[in-house]
């Protein structure tokens, strides 16, 4: 919901990854954002404005001296109404211009005039990314408050394997949402969320578990992040990707989850226990795979620790966290 009604200026620069910007644009619009797209001349070699105009139902800006509503200069008008300026992909050329304050096209002029947060998603070949000049530019932009997302590692358009890929749309969306939520109702709060179903091993290949997907815990972690909190997600094994901007602490058993939770109590303001923690575990874990025998198999179980009861016992002395 944090994106609903927000004015997002999306800058698209001239790299092969710019086709992925269409997916980002679409997801932003689906989330309720008002998206204005600026394309550089180099981006026009890869895509046409029609794609983004169709997705946003709004005109796409390209011309440095384009007039909006007959009176406003495009770079000033767009900069003033932006809640966040996102450039994806951000080429090495554009990063260099931003780092040195150049304003020779509509996008860089808008960036220079914009006081809203800046989110950059670099995409380029590995050698360009690793070049000391590019790294110095990235460092300068980061020190001035820009949020740098990626790049990812994998196969590039050149056929090489390395750093330089535009990160997944979901990761960029996560960065945008976190940036917009910096001053939210939970700003400054330190929050711990537990998620997933713990696994209690029977032997090296089998375990007792439950059907928890972890989705609720991960959704709570994302919502807290969007509200400005500093979030730690203590998670049992799941098939879910870690949310952007959230510290992920992987655990497996109830004992490991207990240790992770209790070890962070002193620095936690709010604790959300969404994990499905096992109530019992095998009293003895076999060192080798349990082989099939002639008769039945009897397992002796013992109770696991009650994490919430331990938290409640420690709260009076610490005065935190809220649970």
CA 135 to chain centre: 22
Tokens of 299: 């397992």
Cα separation of 208 and 217, whole Å? Answer: 20
CA 59 to chain centre: 29
Cα separation of 236 and 250, whole Å? Answer: 6
Q: Are residues 89 and 160 in the same domain?
A: yes
Q: What is the pTM of this model?
A: 0.86
**What pLDDT does residue 156 have?**
85
Examine the fold and report which residue of 180, 213, 240 is the final residue of a domain before the chain moves on. Answer: 180
Q: Are residues 195 and 284 in the same domain?
A: yes
- Find the CATH number of the domain harbouring 298: 3.40.50.10300
For the chain, give the number of residues.
Answer: 323
**What pLDDT does residue 71 have?**
46
Query: Is 266 strand, coil or helix?
Result: helix
Q: Is cis: bond before 142, omega within 30 of 0?
A: no
Answer yes or no: are the C-beta atoms of 140 and 111 closer than 8 Å: no
Q: Is residue 102 part of a domain?
A: yes
Total Cβ atoms within 10 A of residue 139: 12
What is the domain extent for residue 264? Answer: 190-318
Q: Is residue 1 part of a domain?
A: no
Cα separation of 13 and 95, whole Å? Answer: 10
Cα separation of 206 and 285, whole Å? Answer: 10
Q: Are residues 161 and 249 in the same domain?
A: no
pLDDT 10s digit of each residue in the chain, 323 long?
A: 799 999 999 999 998 999 999 999 999 999 999 999 999 999 999 999 999 999 999 999 988 776 555 546 655 778 888 999 999 999 999 999 999 999 999 999 999 999 999 999 999 999 999 999 999 999 999 999 999 998 999 888 888 899 999 999 999 999 999 999 999 999 989 999 999 999 999 989 999 999 999 999 999 999 999 999 999 999 999 999 989 999 999 999 999 999 999 999 888 999 999 999 999 999 888 888 888 877 788 888 999 999 998 888 887 666 667 65
Q: How many domains does the chain have?
A: 2
140 — phi, psi (to 5°)?
A: -65, -45
Strands 72-73 and 147-148: unpaired
Strands 280-282 and 301-303: antiparallel
Q: Is residue 49 part of a domain?
A: yes
Residues 94, 173, 95, CA angle at the centre, nearest 5°? 10
Examine the fold and report which residue of 156, 180, 204 is the final residue of a domain before the chain moves on. Answer: 180
Residue 105 annotated in active site: no
Helices assigned H by DSSP within the chain: 20-30, 49-56, 74-81, 92-99, 106-113, 126-130, 132-143, 169-180, 215-226, 254-262, 307-318
Cα separation of 232 and 234, whole Å? Answer: 6
Answer yes or no: are the C-beta atoms of 165 and 126 closer than 8 Å: no
Cα separation of 255 and 145, whole Å? Answer: 40
Q: From residue 235, how far is each of 42, 175, 230, 254 by CA, in Å?
A: 43, 21, 16, 11
Examine the fold and report which residue of 160, 180, 200 is the final residue of a domain before the chain moves on. Answer: 180
DSSP 275: -
């Amino acid at each position: 919901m944090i994106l609903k009604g927000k004015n997002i200026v999306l800058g698209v620069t001239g790299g092969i990854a710019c086709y992925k910007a269409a997916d980002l644009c679409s997801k932003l619009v689906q989330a309720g954002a008002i998206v204005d797209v600026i394309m550089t001349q180099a981006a026009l070699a890869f895509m046409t404005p029609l794609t983004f105009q169709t997705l946003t139902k709004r005109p796409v800006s390209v011309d440095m001296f384009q007039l909006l509503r007959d009176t406003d200069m495009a770079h000033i008008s767009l900069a003033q109404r932006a809640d966040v300026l996102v450039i994806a992909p951000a080429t090495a050329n554009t990063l260099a211009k931003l780092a040195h304050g150049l304003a020779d096209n509509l996008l860089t002029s808008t960036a220079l005039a914009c006081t809203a947060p800046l989110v950059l998603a670099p995409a380029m070949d590995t050698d360009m990314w690793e070049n000391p000049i590019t790294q110095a530019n990235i460092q300068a932009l980061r020190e001035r408050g820009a949020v740098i997302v990626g790049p990812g590692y994998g196969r590039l358009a050149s056929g090489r394997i390395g750093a330089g890929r535009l990160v997944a749309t979901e990761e960029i969306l996560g960065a945008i949402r976190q940036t917009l939520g910096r001053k939210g109702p939970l700003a400054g709060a330190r929050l711990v969320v537990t998620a997933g179903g713990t696994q209690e091993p029977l032997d090296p290949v089998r375990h007792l578990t439950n059907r928890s997907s972890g989705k609720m815990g991960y959704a709570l972690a994302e919502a807290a992040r969007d509200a400005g909190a500093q979030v730690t997600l203590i998670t049992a094994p799941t098939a879910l990707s870690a949310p952007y901007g959230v510290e992920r602490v992987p655990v497996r058993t109830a004992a490991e989850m207990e240790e992770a939770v209790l070890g962070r109590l002193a620095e936690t303001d709010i604790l959300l226990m969404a994990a499905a923690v096992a109530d019992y575990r095998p009293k003895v874990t076999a060192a080798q795979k349990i082989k099939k025998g002639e008769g039945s198999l009897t397992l002796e179980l013992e109770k696991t620790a009650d994490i919430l009861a331990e938290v409640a016992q420690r709260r009076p002395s610490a005065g935190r966290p809220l649970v």
